[in-house]
Amino acid sequence: MGESYQIRLSTDDLPRKWYNILPDLPEPLPPPIGDEQLQRLPELMIGKCLEQEMSQENWIDIPDGVLELYERAGRPRPLFRARALERAIGTPARMYYKSEFYSPTGSHKVNTALAQAYYAKEQGIERLTTETGAGQWGTALSYACAMVGLKCTIYWVRAVYRWKKARRNLMNLFGAQVFASPSPNTKVGKELYDKNPEHPGSLSIAISEGLEDAQDPKAAYSLGSVLNHVLMHQTIIGLETQKQFEKAGDYPDIMISCLGGGSNFGGFVLPFVGEVLKKGKKIKFIAAQSKAAPNLQGEYKYDYADHGEITPQLKMYTLGHQTEFPPIRGDGLRYHGCSPIISLLRKHGYIDTIAYPQDEKYVFEMAELFTRTEGFLPAPESAYSIACAIDEAHRCKKTGEAKVIAFNVSGHGFMDMVGYDEVLGLSDRSPLREMAK
């Protein structure tokens, strides 16, 4: 074999501990506030997750049961060297990408869903409830509940529920109960549903329904991004990547991923941020966002995590918890606030950010280039990460610098072909024009 394309770990190399950055942060993380909201949490949340949320331990053991679930989900995942993409750009940069698109449900979200479902089962909880907007989180939790033998109830914003039938069917295949929200199932939902059974719903109503349903003593509520324990579970991505760079005898100068609430970005970069903070390494971290919801360009202040003000307030970069955002295909990037950990690092100057135009034409074109050269179809959210990596590679081409660019591809786009078609006009492409290219 000639040049290598893939850096692979064996199952024995699977990291045994998650990295908790809290004790290494440049200043203590401002605590969540709101007495009433905080008091409700122990009844609603998985005990172990709540405990991990505040932990000051640097390294947290991954239970054997979770390691087994990670292995069943295909971990460790390969790190690829993007040689074909490098050649297409003509860059001296060395580009590497992490393959979270190999996830059984199509996104990195299974990394925390599996850990949460495992802890819930261990605690004797019988059912997990959650809300979902784009649908990736609902699918990941449905899958995780199926793997450990828990029931799963999903409240899905009615407007999206109708539209994404394939994803809904996948959740049903995993055995989840999926309700269009507002539903007649809860008090909050029924009030709205009785007035208008066609109510389009919103993420805040769906959160309220999930939380109300979790008051059942046998149930708990699960969260898919933003919180400290979610980012910590996701560090499995970056910890594997560290081992892979060691194996490759290389080290990143620039690390990139897309950012909605911050879980895939955090999971990918935080172990490396630890090396910057403690070992004096130098890496540029870039979070790729949409101009539709560039939360890292918002204000750093206390704000609610939800529209309905049910959650405690978190200190974070936010655009305001009741702001309405225009629809985009990369729906997972449409959230008002950024995780408190990433926000604090941004405030201290460790995180750069870029926001791409909300028509998404440019990012989808870059996703097309990636698909044609590397062969993997990225999720619309991941297209932002790819666009940013390509921009950096072009910068290297101009300056002649052979930098090492590492980027995360958070998911696959097999269920997002409608979005690709709408943005790129695939169905309207003339075969003759294509041949002339």
**Residue 308 or 411: which CB sits closer to ligand PLP?**
411
Backbone dihedral angles phi then psi of residue 236, each to the nearest 5 degrees: -55, -35
Q: How far apart are CA 214 and CA 46, in angstroms?
A: 10
What residues from 406 to 425 belong to the interface with ligand PLP (CB under 6 A)?
Answer: 410-411
Q: How far apart are CA 404 and CA 241, in angstroms?
A: 13
- Residue nearest ligand PLP, Cβ-based: 411
By CB atoms closer than 10 A (0-12, 13-18, 19+), residue 72 is exposed
Residues near ligand PLP (CB under 6 A), total? 19
Among 130, 263, 290, 295, binds ligand PLP (CB under 6 A): 263
Of 177, 136, 125, 131, the closest CA to residue 157 belongs to: 131
Among 7, 144, 379, 386, binds ligand PLP (CB under 6 A): 379
**Is residue 332 at the binding interface for ligand PLP, with CB under 6 A as the rule?**
yes
**Is residue 382 at the binding interface for ligand PLP, with CB under 6 A as the rule?**
yes
Cα 191 to chain centroid distance, Å, stands at: 32
b/e code 137-158 from CB counts within 10 Å (16+ = b):
bbbbbbbbbbbbebbbbbbbbb
**What would the x/- binding string for ligand PLP be over residues 113 to 152, using CB under 6 A?**
-----------------------x----------------
- The span of 263-271, 273-281, 386-394, 418-426 binding ligand PLP (CB under 6 A) equals 263-271
Q: How far apart are CA 161 and CA 311, in angstroms?
A: 24
- The span of 33-41, 143-151, 211-219, 252-260 binding ligand PLP (CB under 6 A) equals 252-260
Taking the complex as a whole, the smallest distance from the CB of residue 109 to ligand PLP amounts, in Å, to: 5
**Residue 91 or 289: which CB sits closer to ligand PLP?**
289
Taking the complex as a whole, the smallest distance from the CB of residue 40 to ligand PLP amounts, in Å, to: 23
**What would the x/- binding string for ligand PLP be over residues 209 to 228, using CB under 6 A?**
----------------x---
Instruction: Tell how strand 17-19 and strand 59-61 pair up.
Output: antiparallel
For residues 341, 343, 344, 346, the Cα torsion angle rounded to the nearest 10 degrees is 120
Cα angle 117, 226, 242 (rounded to 5 degrees) comes to 80
Among 381, 396, 416, 419, binds ligand PLP (CB under 6 A): 381
Q: How far apart are CA 245 and CA 241, in angstroms?
A: 6
Q: How far apart are CA 370 and CA 405, in angstroms?
A: 15
Taking the complex as a whole, the smallest distance from the CB of residue 22 to ligand PLP amounts, in Å, to: 18
**Residue 86 or 416: which CB sits closer to ligand PLP?**
416
Among 15, 210, 252, 260, binds ligand PLP (CB under 6 A): 260
User: Computed from CA positions of residues 15, 16, 19, 23, in that sequence, does the dihedral angle turn out positive or negative?
Assistant: negative
Q: Residue numbers of the site for ligand PLP (CB under 6 A)?
A: 107, 109, 136, 225, 258-265, 332-333, 379, 381-382, 410-411
